Chain A
Amino acid sequence: TQLLEQSPQFLSIQEGENLTVYCNSSSVFSSLQWYRQEPGEGPVLLVTVVTGGEVKKLKRLTFQFGDARKDSSLHITAAQTGDTGLYLCAGGSKVQGGKLIFGQGTELSVKP
């Protein structure tokens, strides 16, 4: 069974700071998806990366897929209070069929 280790589990920072969330595995994934989840809601897709070494930017968020497609990172520049939430990485692979394997999540709190 493939596993995704997400770190850190909790992160509390001041507005304006930068942060990075990591998602690591010993297995290769065909795709890596990042979601953000608000309390009481479902995960909302931020980005999907499928190519090793791929970098995608979404405003102040930068997503990277490792060259070997075993790890990924999410970097937020100049965090804002509106970035507060639960960030989830999820990997898909042919070995796992259609199921996504989720990391444990990173609970981000950005204080004013």
Chain B
Amino acid sequence: NAGVMQNPRHLVRRRGQEARLRCSPMKGHSHVYWYRQLPEEGLKFMVYLQKENIIDESGMPKERFSAEFPKEGPSILRIQQVVRGDSAAYFCASSGTSDPSTDTQYFGPGTRLTVL
């Protein structure tokens, strides 16, 4: 399966715990994007990364959220001290060319985070 992989598919955390979401892009893709889909809302951009670089984090909350895409391994979206409002589906997408304004983004199956 050469598609975008995300794990875990479901994650349950208690308030105050940390959540780590992983994304492996499609083979050959070096651009990774994270989006959040809140209940009854559309998909909202969070962060755009290339290997070892954060390109655009304008959609990411300033506190408790961080993202990385190391030279080796998957991209990680980390949420510290989770609160109930963080409950959502988090999607990762990847693309392969150097013109992200026109390149197609392929999405993973998502991680559904539930904060108790």
Contacts and interface: CB of A to CB of B under 8 A. Distances in A.
Interface stretch (B11-19, B43-51, B71-79): B43-51
A103 B110 contact: no
Contacts of B112: 40
B107 to A, nearest CB: 4
Nearest to B102: A31
A48 B104 CA distance: 7
A41 B110 contact: yes
B33 to A, nearest CB: 6
B95 to A, nearest CB: 8
B116 interface: no
Interface in B26-65: 31, 33, 35, 42-45, 48, 55-56, 58-59
A82 interface: no
Interface in A5-57: 30-31, 33, 35, 40-45, 48, 50
Interface residues of B, number: 29
A50 B70 CA distance: 31
A100 B45 contact: yes
Nearest to B49: A98
- Which of A35, A41, A104 has the most CB atoms of chain B within a 10 A radius of its CB? A41
Contact of B105 (A41, A93, A97, A100): A100
B45 A43 contact: no
B102 to A, nearest CB: 4
A30 B101 contact: yes
A100 B45 CA distance: 7
B105 A42 contact: no
Contact of B43 (A41, A44, A88, A97): A88
Contacts of A50: 102
A59 interface: no
A97 B102 contact: no
A9 to B, nearest CB: 10
18 contacts: A30-B101, A31-B101, A31-B103, A41-B110, A44-B107, A45-B107, A90-B105, A92-B103, A96-B101, A97-B48, A97-B55, A97-B56, A98-B48, A98-B95, A100-B45, A100-B93, A102-B35, A102-B43
